Amino acid sequence: MKEKTGVIPQDFIEEVLDRTDIVEIIEASVVLKKMGKNYQGLCPFHKEKTPSFTVSQDKGFYHCFGCNAHGGALKFLQEHLRMDFIPALEMLAERVGMKLPQQDEVLPRQENRERRVIYEILEHASKFYKEQLRTNSTRERAVEYLKGRGLSGHIARDFDLGYSVAKWDSLQTFMASSNFERVFLNNSGMLVQRDGSDHSYDRFRDRIMFPIKDLRGKVIAFGGRLIGDGKPKYLNSPETPVFQKGRELYGLYEARRRTPHLEKIIVVEGYMDVLALAQNGIPYAVATLGTATTDNHIERLFRFVSRIVFCFDGDEAGRKAAWKALDAVLPYLQDGRTVAFLFLPDEEDPDSLVRKEGKDGFEGRLSKCTSFTDFFYSHLESSLDMSTPEGKASLSKMAMPLVDQIPKGVFKQLMVNSLSSRVGLTSETLISASASYQKRKSRQSGPIPPSSIKNAVTLAKNDIPKSELGGQVDRAVSMLLKQPELADLFEPEEYSLLKADERLSLLSDLLDFIMHEDILSPEIIFKYFNDRPDFMRLQQLAKKEQLLDISQFADEFKGIVRLQLHRLEEESKKTDIENLLQRAIGTLSSEEKDLIRRYHNGHSLKNV
């Protein structure tokens, strides 16, 4: 009998680790480069100049040949980020769509066993379908179909394409020799149980089979494209204990494997689009699985790239789908990330277009695609008469609630500035009007239920502060804990200016310690800050997931520090001016009067 950790069965822990992509976890803290089958980088556990830290994605394991540090994803979070066991396991479980059992419940062992058996069934099915494409007597129909779509044997091999023959029990007969229980075969989605009967039949028949894989390359579901006549033309696996279609993207595993350092990803609508683009030298496309783009999709993609291009038909339906994607992406558009839209010509899809125009032609379209800002405003303005005050007022009323969802930063301000130029109002007026409207809307919605107030209080007790200043400081501290060498981006004299604001004390003290002690190990940092009253906050920030790629940390960190230094400088000037204004006018020198005049010319009176 396997041991349990607390009330958490070892089976559950192993299942979480089995579904976790260790590269995704570690590359949030370490810059990794693909080296053959494995990844390599500078060890985060000791100082080194030559990389000796290796991560095996297939085995879910890391090892440093310099200091002998080794382990899996859970151990990395515990030893590098100093997370306790339960929070680390909970974080990993949430990332793979699993829920940590509560202390007063025991996770059914049957549920853990079911997941493991389903993985085995899907792997067996994938091998079976691939073998059918190679050897079945009716394989020519499938081969001719793939050739007709311009796909090579290399692409079929790289994406593990297969063939399900036109029989009701082909897979079922094959699985009989493996002794899998019928209930698991049905729950895997590979068989369908007949109504009111114990008999089952193959879900996929006479189809090209597309294995859908998770980030570690494990098969979690299938898509099938019908070869002959009939409907539905495309068929996906149902949701199962290992597959939630709103979380997964077809081709993401292959895109990361074929292009280790992705810069952008194209989101398309079909399996064949992904394959055709890869066939023509564009291996960075993924497809949603019959759903609109979800928050999970966007969050996952932005972990790997800073640019997403959505590819849709240019007709009305395509533009509606694009608008849904735009709406979903708004809360994730922090500075440094970009989103664009490629609208296709009539009667074309990525598959047909790339075969017609080739790699250069398609990438030429990508370089000229519609920007987020252009699509945002053109869509809203399409039903308005922008030559009238009414049209401009309607645009501001529709646009500002959407812009408000964008995280604070330069991009959000530029969006407000763009709206300002379109409607002829200042940015301050738009922001004020939007706040007033939202306040009225909130009052009209009625009193807040007591349960909601209780939940809000609970969240406020447990969450890291969310104010604009607090959020910026928290991001800077979180990045420093993951990459202490960021401290070298400024001189100590510049950091000393941060001490003027006690709200920056944690950031300032952390920078002092790193700079003076030449510390690059989070472990030593935590040991030093262990007795501080804000140690718990430091732990929270270490656990905080960064949606930015680690290669973007430097620009983000520099932006935050520069913003704080500029703010402190402006506040110092303001204090000096206010002190001068307290004095009688006759006592001011000509230089002091000129200073007040220049300050007023550069700032609005409400800010003085």
Where residue 343 sits, what CATH number does that domain have?
3.40.1360.10
Are 477 and 592 part of one and the same domain? yes
* Maximum average pLDDT range among 99-103, 114-118, 361-365: 361-365
- Alpha-carbon distance of 237 to 213, in angstroms, equals 12
What is the Cα gyration radius of the chain?
A: 28
pLDDT range class, residue 264, cuts 50, 70, 90: very high
Element (H, E) at 201: strand 200-202
pLDDT tens figures, 383-397? 899 999 999 989 998
Using the 3D structure, point to which of 95, 127, 156 is the last residue of a domain: 95
Q: What is the mean pLDDT of residues 350-363?
A: 94
CATH at 9? 3.90.580.10
Q: What per-residue confidence (pLDDT) applies to 583?
A: 61
Q: What is the mean pLDDT of residues 593-608?
A: 53
Are 213 and 119 part of one and the same domain? yes
Are 187 and 280 part of one and the same domain? no
Q: What is the mean pLDDT of residues 278-282?
A: 95
Compute the mean pLDDT over every residue in the chain, rounded to the nearest whole number: 83
Using the 3D structure, point to which of 95, 125, 153 is the last residue of a domain: 95
Using the 3D structure, point to which of 95, 116, 136 is the last residue of a domain: 95
151-156: long-range pairs with CB below 8 Å, 24+ = 151/275, 151/276, 151/279, 152/279, 155/275, 155/278, 155/279
Q: What per-residue confidence (pLDDT) applies to 589?
A: 72
Q: Is the pTM of this model over 0.75?
A: no
Are 342 and 267 part of one and the same domain? yes
pLDDT tens figures, 507-532? 988 888 887 766 566 667 777 787 77
Asked whether residue 449 is assigned to any structural domain, the reply reads: no
Are 430 and 377 part of one and the same domain? no
Q: What per-residue confidence (pLDDT) applies to 247?
A: 86
Percent of the chain with pLDDT over 90: 42
Asked whether residue 425 is assigned to any structural domain, the reply reads: yes
Are 515 and 405 part of one and the same domain? no
Asked whether residue 266 is assigned to any structural domain, the reply reads: yes
Q: What per-residue confidence (pLDDT) applies to 546?
A: 65
Are 529 and 598 part of one and the same domain? yes
Are 495 and 541 part of one and the same domain? yes
Asked whether residue 254 is assigned to any structural domain, the reply reads: no
Asked whether residue 548 is assigned to any structural domain, the reply reads: yes
Asked whether residue 456 is assigned to any structural domain, the reply reads: no
- What is the domain count for the chain? 5
Q: For residue 164, is pLDDT > 90?
A: yes
CATH at 511? 1.10.860.10
- Alpha-carbon distance of 185 to 279, in angstroms, equals 33
pLDDT tens figures, 540-582? 788 776 666 666 778 788 888 988 888 888 888 877 777 766 6
- Alpha-carbon distance of 374 to 415, in angstroms, equals 10
Rounded to 10°, the helix 10-19/73-80 angle is 90
- State which residues form the domain around 339: 259-382
Q: For residue 327, is pLDDT > 90?
A: yes
CATH at 155? 3.90.980.10
Q: For residue 222, is pLDDT > 90?
A: yes
Asked whether residue 453 is assigned to any structural domain, the reply reads: no
Are 149 and 15 part of one and the same domain? no
Are 420 and 542 part of one and the same domain? no
Asked whether residue 520 is assigned to any structural domain, the reply reads: yes
Are 265 and 306 part of one and the same domain? yes
Q: What is the mean pLDDT of residues 435-439?
A: 60
Specify the higher pLDDT residue, 28 or 151.
151
- Alpha-carbon distance of 543 to 537, in angstroms, equals 10
Q: What per-residue confidence (pLDDT) applies to 462?
A: 36
- Alpha-carbon distance of 261 to 81, in angstroms, equals 24
Q: What per-residue confidence (pLDDT) applies to 44?
A: 92
Are 416 and 342 part of one and the same domain? no
pLDDT range class, residue 461, cuts 50, 70, 90: very low
